[in-house]
């Protein structure tokens, strides 16, 4: 019996399902159940099932929300005596340099739940002070009395010798029966603050994630498979995601990047800038052959050092609020109107002007076709708010609306520059792949400012993240700190270390159900010049120094030829390809008249002038159709604007490729 491939993306108002039933792609929306998100997921799966087995990939926000809302498990931290405050001291970096009232985020573990043991291992892995078992036993009774649900264990230099962490972990699991997270298992790398922060986050969010996932697994049908999307662009089993929930923090945005990568490969665009604009924020990322991975992310001001797709987020979305600041200037975002009450034009009681309101005011949104005509918009509610704010700024209402769009675009343009120009990449050499509900209204204008020649709008752009989850492979990452000087970094030595890592990963992948011959292993090294504080991750080969220097020159504009290097960490990524549904495509190129897709005309304000645009139903477009006139393309999940001076073509896979002159 053929199975149904299902991507599940949990959101605020709705839980979205995108699925391939062996004939066509379908979409289902179920009202979310905030008290227990699993209820909506299980209800949707039962509707989709039709008596068949399901292959489910879930992009869960459970870990993300637990961290952002500070609703994780009651967590304790065990470390070396005298180092209990590393978590609070952190680094001297100030996130907002000129904010005199800036305060660091509160640590997830309060001071009274951070405990130090009188044991010590040095940087060579040698035991200086032995672990006192009696001291651990005494701590157990304290933890029991405090009602602890989870414990993070992070000792100095455990990345090179995890002996003490393992002993403490075994005692805790045996006598306390709580979730235990060991830094030597989560992140066996040096830099104790980042390692401790990542381990604590994992301990904080994993119990909640574990409870949620196992509830789902126990209630799906026999024969169904359930896997979870990770932040690194791969998927993992429920068991792994439950133990290492920190790896799922950015699973939703990562799904979008993987979906974009798949479309790029099909259409021949290897260099992509992904632009995912939703209601609250915009996520941007860069793909140069493959997604860029970073280990320097932070969530809510807390470092998370596990590998993640390098995604930069700004508070600019359709719901971003426009306001006048203390200096009398117009400002847009990062505050959002959210889904409730939402923009003024939703008619749900919203009072603040948003980017969506500005697009509607300028005629760029067509009320009768919003969400496929299933959601009513109220343009008449915008007249008074726009007149009032415009008068305060000495502008006309139309100038205000265009100003809001320009400021929002400027915020998003800076985000794209950050992941391209500031990383040594020229945006002109990339295509902009736009998705998310609001992306199509802004993509071409951003491309013009950045001189990007091509914009790609996939089919159902508002649902690409869920589709991407179904196109992901099973991926596991492992790293270890080696701290080898150049004269010590012999290929034989490095080969031996890589072999040990790979054996561990192959064993773990076998537990996921994949035999060794089906697994692709990728090797990487974190390298720096001797004396530098931070390193660059590069693909590992015999010419690793040359590769590092080329990347250093691309990033920073120079390379110290002949200067000694250090290899800090070695990394291996294990990839097991899984069965994937095909992306929807047209069977043949047909000369279907474009006129059949034209719904009518609409007046749009562009650069202060009222211009006539044709309105096009995307569902009626065919492979080979060319739109060489100003147009607004409407579909269920998004709206795309094709302004004068550009033209668009529909490709075999239904993508709308817009070319800028």
12 has a pLDDT exceeding 80: no
Indicate the pTM of the whole model: 0.91
Given a contact cutoff of 8 angstroms between Cβ atoms, the answer to whether 504 and 573 are in contact is no
Determine the pLDDT at residue 590: 64
Domain ranges of the chain: 1-27+45-59, 68-209, 251-297+423-468, 474-576, 594-660
591 has a pLDDT exceeding 70: no
Given a contact cutoff of 8 angstroms between Cβ atoms, the answer to whether 241 and 474 are in contact is no
pLDDT mean over 73-102:
90
Handedness of CA 87, 93, 94, 95 (dihedral sign): negative
Determine the pLDDT at residue 82: 96
Given a contact cutoff of 8 angstroms between Cβ atoms, the answer to whether 303 and 198 are in contact is yes
pLDDT single digits (tens) 412-423:
999 999 999 999
Instruction: Look up residue 168 and give its two tokens.
Output: 């403490």
- Residue 116, helix vs strand vs coil: strand
1 has a pLDDT exceeding 60: no
pLDDT-derived band at 100, boundaries 50, 70, 90:
confident
Given a contact cutoff of 8 angstroms between Cβ atoms, the answer to whether 482 and 567 are in contact is yes
Among 496, 473, 477, 471, residue whose Cα is nearest residue 574: 477
Interatomic CA distance for residues 423 and 307, integer angstroms: 18
> CATH topology for 68-209?
Dna Topoisomerase Vi A Subunit; Chain: A, domain 2 (3.40.1360)
233 has a pLDDT exceeding 70: yes
Cβ contacts of residue 366 below 8 Å, gap of 6+? 602, 615, 632, 634, 639
Lowest mean pLDDT among 7-11, 228-232, 449-453: 7-11
Place of tokens 């991750």: 537
- Residue 407, helix vs strand vs coil: helix
> CATH topology for 251-297+423-468?
Nucleotidyltransferase; domain 5 (3.30.420)
142 has a pLDDT exceeding 80: yes
Cβ contacts of residue 40 below 8 Å, gap of 6+? 10, 15, 30, 31, 32, 33
Cβ contacts of residue 174 below 8 Å, gap of 6+? none
pLDDT single digits (tens) 280-289:
889 999 999 9
Please state which CATH number belongs to domain 474-576: 3.30.1490
Lowest mean pLDDT among 1-5, 196-200, 239-243, 358-362: 1-5
Among 112, 107, 116, 109, residue whose Cα is nearest residue 78: 116
Count of H helices and E strands in the chain? 16, 35
- The residue count of the chain comes to 661
């Amino acid at each position: 019996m053929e199975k149904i491939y299902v991507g599940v993306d949990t959101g605020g108002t709705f839980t979205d399902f995108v699925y391939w039933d062996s004939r066509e792609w379908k979409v289902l929306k179920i009202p979310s159940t905030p008290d227990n998100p699993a209820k909506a997921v299980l209800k949707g799966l039962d509707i989709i099932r039709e008596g068949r087995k399901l292959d489910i990939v879930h992009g869960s926000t459970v870990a993300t929300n637990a961290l952002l809302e500070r609703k994780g498990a009651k967590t304790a931290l065990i470390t070396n005596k005298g180092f209990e405050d590393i978590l609070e001291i952190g680094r001297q970096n100030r996130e907002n340099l000129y904010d005199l009232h800036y305060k660091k985020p509160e640590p997830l573990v309060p001071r009274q739940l951070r405990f130090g043991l009188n044991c010590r291992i040095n940087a060579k892995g040698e035991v200086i002070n032995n672990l006192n078992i009696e001291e651990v036993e005494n701590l157990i009774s304290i933890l029991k009395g405090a009602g602890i649900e989870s414990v993070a264990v992070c000792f100095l230099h455990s990345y090179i010798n995890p002996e003490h962490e393992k002993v403490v972990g075994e005692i805790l699991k045996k006598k306390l029966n709580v979730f235990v997270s060991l830094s030597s298992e989560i992140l066996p790398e040096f830099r104790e603050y980042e390692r401790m922060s990542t381990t604590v986050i994992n301990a904080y969010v994993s119990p909640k994630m574990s409870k949620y996932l196992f509830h789902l697994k126990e209630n799906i049908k026999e024969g169904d498979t359930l896997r979870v999307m990770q932040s690194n662009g791969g998927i993992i089993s429920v068991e792994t995601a439950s133990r290492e929930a920190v790896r799922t923090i950015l699973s939703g945005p990562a799904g979008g990047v993987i979906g974009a990568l798949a479309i790029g490969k099909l259409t021949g665009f290897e260099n992509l800038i992904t632009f995912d604009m939703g209601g609250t924020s915009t996520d941007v990322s860069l793909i140069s052959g493959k997604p860029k991975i970073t280990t320097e992310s932070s969530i809510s001001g807390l470092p998370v050092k596990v590998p993640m797709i390098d995604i930069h987020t700004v508070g600019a979305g359709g719901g971003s609020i426009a306001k006048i600041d203390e200096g009398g200037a117009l400002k847009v975002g990062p505050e959002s109107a959210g889904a409730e009450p939402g923009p003024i034009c939703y008619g749900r009681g919203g009072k603040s002007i948003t980017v969506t309101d500005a697009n509607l005011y300028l005629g760029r949104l067509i009320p009768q076709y919003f969400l496929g005509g299933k959601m009513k918009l109220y343009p008449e509610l915008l007249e008074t708010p726009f007149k009032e704010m415009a008068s305060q700024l000495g502008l006309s209402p139309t100038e205000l609306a265009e100003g809001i769009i320009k400021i929002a675009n400027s915020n998003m343009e800076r985000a794209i520059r950050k992941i391209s120009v500031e990383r040594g990449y020229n945006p002109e050499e990339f295509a902009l792949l736009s998705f998310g509900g609001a992306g199509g209204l802004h993509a071409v204008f951003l491309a013009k400012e950045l001189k990007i020649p091509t914009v790609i709008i996939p089919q159902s752009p508002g649902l690409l993240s869920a589709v991407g989850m179904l196109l992901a492979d099973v991926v596991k990452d492992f790293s270890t700190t080696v701290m080898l000087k150049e004269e010590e970094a012999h290929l034989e030595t490095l080969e031996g270390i890589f072999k040990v890592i790979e054996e561990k990963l192959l064993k773990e992948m076998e537990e996921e159900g994949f035999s060794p011959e089906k697994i692709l292993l990728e090797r990487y090294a974190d390298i720096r010049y001797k004396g530098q504080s931070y390193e660059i991750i590069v693909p590992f080969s015999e010419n690793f120094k040359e590769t590092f220097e080329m990347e250093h020159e691309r990033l920073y504009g120079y390379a110290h030829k002949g200067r000694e290097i250090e290899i800090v960490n070695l990394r291996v990524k294990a990839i097991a390809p899984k069965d994937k549904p095909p992306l929807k495509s047209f069977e043949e190129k047909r000369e279907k008249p474009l006129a059949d897709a034209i719904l009518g005309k609409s007046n749009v304000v562009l650069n202060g002038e009222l211009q006539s645009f044709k309105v096009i139903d995307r569902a009626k477009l065919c492979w080979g159709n060319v739109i060489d006139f100003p147009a607004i393309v409407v579909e269920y999940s998004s709206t795309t604007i094709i302004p004068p001076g550009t033209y668009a073509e529909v490709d075999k896979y239904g993508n709308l490729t817009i070319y800028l002159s």
